[in-house]
A = this chain, B = another copy of it.
Amino acid sequence: MKCITVKELYRNTESYLDKEITVAGWVRSNRGSKAFGFLVMGDGSCFQTLQIVYHDNMGNFKEVSKLNVGAAVIVKGTLIATPEAKQPFEIQAAEVTVEGDSAPDYPLQKKRHSFEYLRTIPHLRARTNTFQAVFRVRSLIAYAIHQFFQEKGFVYVHTPLITGSDCEGAGEMFQVTTMDLNNIPKTEDGKIDYSQDFFGKETNLTVSGQLNGETYAMAFRDIYTFGPTFRAENSNTTRHAAEFWMIEPEMAFADLEDNMEVAEAMLKYVISYVLENAPEEMNFFNQFVDKGLLERLHGVLNSEFGHVTYTEAIEILEKNNDNFDYKVSWGCDLQTEHERYLTEQVFKRPIFVTDYPKDIKAFYMKLNEDGKTVAAMDCLVPGIGEIIGGSQREDDLGKLTGRMQELGLKEEDYGFYLDLRKYGSVRHSGFGLGFERCVMYLTGMGNIRDVIPFPRTVKNCEL
């Protein structure tokens, strides 16, 4: 049906003022008196709402004045400027048609609900102010990421979700099967007969598309993935979900410096895009969710990211060991408290920490000349800690197989990966950005369950 969106009214107000138009949306509030009433509606097209004034000259005045929050209406009326009111304009209704009413037990009344409660109604919570803002911004961030890479000529690669291999031994995986669990086929020696499973072998949900992505970087030079990944970790925290989206760019003829340049440019691009395209939502977050948000994001935009090696970072952190729960020393992994201390207290801006000990990083990272560290980089941002992890990849066949032997990885499981080092190997680099962590960072939302439409966590898979 032809009607004007609220967004369009805000964008091109002049074109509609004093004209009869049709709008449609859902009631946010409704105050009736004997002779007239005010109905505030939103249509989901933007953060703003629209006030409708209706009068008792309408045949269904009584019906309209009793409309509950959540009801759907189609309104025909005239757009009038209201220079003295809070909102810039309102509609003087000629007709209000009830498209669908809202039962009296509607769970979203015009009061503030806790995030905990709203998590129990994931099919309705997107109708509230906070989640309207969160999920519109989530959509914009996703698009900004695509735009950033596409404008740079990166090829978007859909790496597979179901996989026969465990990329980096990155942790617990979900198994995928079509076998009847009441009657699992067995081989003669009593083992599970995976030859009878759908793919004829044991399969899992992917934990990373990186290794597949590297094969495409060796063909297209610059590629990125953007898809779901899975971790079956039994960790019930505000930052972990079993199903989340990742962005993994991979670039041929790129070293660690190039890698960090792209990561920094990407974060700045996405922040700019969201500030420009969702100013109302970002102001809302800054006002009601995270008071320092806008200042922090503008700070990121206006600073050059710092650079520090892991070894230098440890020296800095050791001086503050008294104040940490986990004391640091060379060789240990950094905890969030250390990361945040570095980026918030020491550098007061985003930083890259580089050249980590090889023993705390993955087998595919390029060994530095010191023989002890690898060309890895983590990007740490104030307020959150690590947001990006990446590395230059080991492109030397001998060094790579040597490292795999040290770690007990079987060459036959990585034949395709080793082929990349046999046939036109090139220096190359890439990184991973956890999409939900990025959404949390840009919105100030504190719980990953509140930035995923239908979150999957331990013992929770609703809808």
Chain A interface (Cβ < 8 Å from any Cβ of B): 1, 3, 5, 7, 24-27, 43-45, 70-72, 74, 99-103, 106-107, 122-124, 126-127, 131-132, 135-136, 138-139, 142-143, 146, 150, 153, 155-165, 172, 174-179, 181-182, 184, 192, 198-201, 203, 205, 211-212, 215-216, 218-222, 227-228, 230, 232, 234, 242-243, 245, 252-255, 258, 395, 416-417, 419-427, 452-454, 456, 458-463
Contacts and interface: CB of A to CB of B under 8 A. Distances in A.
B159 A453 contact: yes
A227 B71 CA distance: 31
B174 A45 contact: no
A175 B172 contact: no
A434 B12 CA distance: 36
Contacts of A215: 122-124, 126, 463
A240 to B, nearest CB: 13
Given A175-B177, A215-B126, A463-B416, A132 B162 contact: no
Copies in the complex: 2
Contact of A162 (B74, B150, B461): B461
Contact of A453 (B43, B107, B158, B228): B158
Contacts of A198: 174, 232, 234, 242, 458-459
A252 B72 CA distance: 10
Contacts of A143: 146, 150, 156
Contact of A222 (B45, B72, B103, B138): B45
Closest 4 CB pairs of A and B: A100-B425, A126-B219, A44-B220, A199-B461
B103 A425 contact: no
A176 B205 contact: yes
B100 A421 contact: yes
Contact of A461 (B135, B150, B164, B178): B164
Nearest to A457: B199
